[in-house]
Amino acid sequence: MATVIYPAIVERAGDGYSVFFPDLPGLTSAGRTVTEAVINAEEALAGHLIVSAEYGDDLNPATDIAALEHDPEVEEVARVLVRAEGPGKSVRLNITLDEGLVSAIDKVASNRSGFLAEAARELLAHRRKLEVA
């Protein structure tokens, strides 16, 4: 899977903002600011793509943002396009790690590759948040 882009709606939610994806029921995100909510929406969409791929679920096609109908019960703040990288095919790597680190990974994970991929995703998301802050 390559880059996907889905429309999302940002709405007021108490002291912050929530985000939902009309094409992906149940997929939501939130944040204290609009920017934080949208950044969290990117992470939520990326996670949703990974889980959907793992379970072989089909994704609804993305609706054109201009074609989304307005819901009078939603206090819209913005409509945004959210981009995420879907999982692609696996690429075999040959890496070198300290043996103590490998041992520590093996104690907590049944799959080294999966553990390292999850750690990389989390660190990348953290660094993206720092770039925005």
* Cα–Cα distances in angstroms (integers) from residue 39 to residues 8, 58, 71, 110, in the given order: 12, 24, 23, 30
Q: Are residues 31 and 11 in the same domain?
A: yes
Predicted TM-score of the model (pTM): 0.69
Q: Kindly list the averaged pLDDT for each block of 10 residues, start to end, along the chain of length 133.
A: 89 95 96 95 91 84 94 94 82 92 95 89 80 69
Same domain as 115, residue 83? no
pLDDT at 124: 82
Q: How many domains does the chain have?
A: 2
Instruction: Print the domain residue range for 47.
Output: 1-89
> Whole-angstrom Cα distance, residue 59 to residue 67?
18
Structure token pair of residue 19: 């985000």
